[in-house]
Amino acid sequence: MTISQISIWNRALGFLGTRSVASERENTPEALQCRLYWDSARRQVLRDFPWNFAQCRAWLARLPLPEGFEREFRFAYALPDDCLKVHEVRHEGIAPRPFSLAQNTADAAGSASFLATDAARALLLYTGDVRNSRLFDDLFAHMLARKLAALIAVPLLKNNSQKVSELEKLYAESLPQARQATASERRESAPDDAWLTARREAL
């Protein structure tokens, strides 16, 4: 079954007990608030858990290392435009490496995010900013509806703090279920032998 944006909106409105909407372009209070908070809710839920459908990998483009990072790291890299949360950086795509995210305030175009690490060729594992609701799984759609409901409850229910707290609690209590479901769909590869890893890095 294809998941649509409007179906998630109406599920969120159902949690609040308000009217549903027939179109994303409606000029009703319910549709206006859903439009206003939709992207924020979606990004928050994507960041809160490494959903399988949103996991991405990308080889990073190197940047000049800004001043002040030389003692700890050797290289700087630009982050992908769709990167919401960094999970791991791997040297040559194999060996995990320490990293730090920072802002380059000296950038001529303004403050720009970058990643500092000692990986000479860095592969990034990250959560991407998935916008197409057809790619969402059922559990993510359910939790996104809960998060959206919590965000729109204040303007639609006239600052009903009790209802907001209840919705936030229900959302938080759903996270363990997501972890369990994702773990059953993921099989981690066996860790590399330390001697083989050392040999690869020396090459």
Give the count of beta carbons closer than 10 Å to the beta carbon of residue 178: 19
CA distance 55 to 176: 19
Mean pLDDT across the chain:
86
Q: State percent of the chain over pLDDT 70.
A: 85
Q: Is the pLDDT of residue 46 over 90?
A: yes
The two structure tokens encoding residue 173? 């209590």
Residue-level pLDDT at 111: 55
Model pTM score: 0.83
How many residues does this entry show for the chain? 203
Reduced 3-state DSSP string for the chain = CCCCHHHHHHHHHHHHCCCCCCCCCCCCHHHHHHHHHHHHHHHHHHHHCCCHHHEEEEECCEECCCCCCCCCCCEEEECCCCEEEEEEEEECCCEEECEEEEEECCCCCCCEEEEEECCCCEEEEEEECCCCHHHCCHHHHHHHHHHHHHHHHHHHCCCCHHHHHHHHHHHHHHHHHHHHHHHHHCCCCCCCCHHHHHHHHHC
Q: Is the pLDDT of residue 186 over 70?
A: no
CA distance 60 to 10: 39
Q: What is the mean pLDDT of residues 81-94?
A: 95
What's the pLDDT band for 96 if we cut at 50, 70, 90? very high
Q: What is the mean pLDDT of residues 158-180?
A: 81
pLDDT in tens, 111-132: 588 999 999 999 999 999 999 9
Q: What is the mean pLDDT of residues 59-84?
A: 93
CA distance 82 to 68: 27
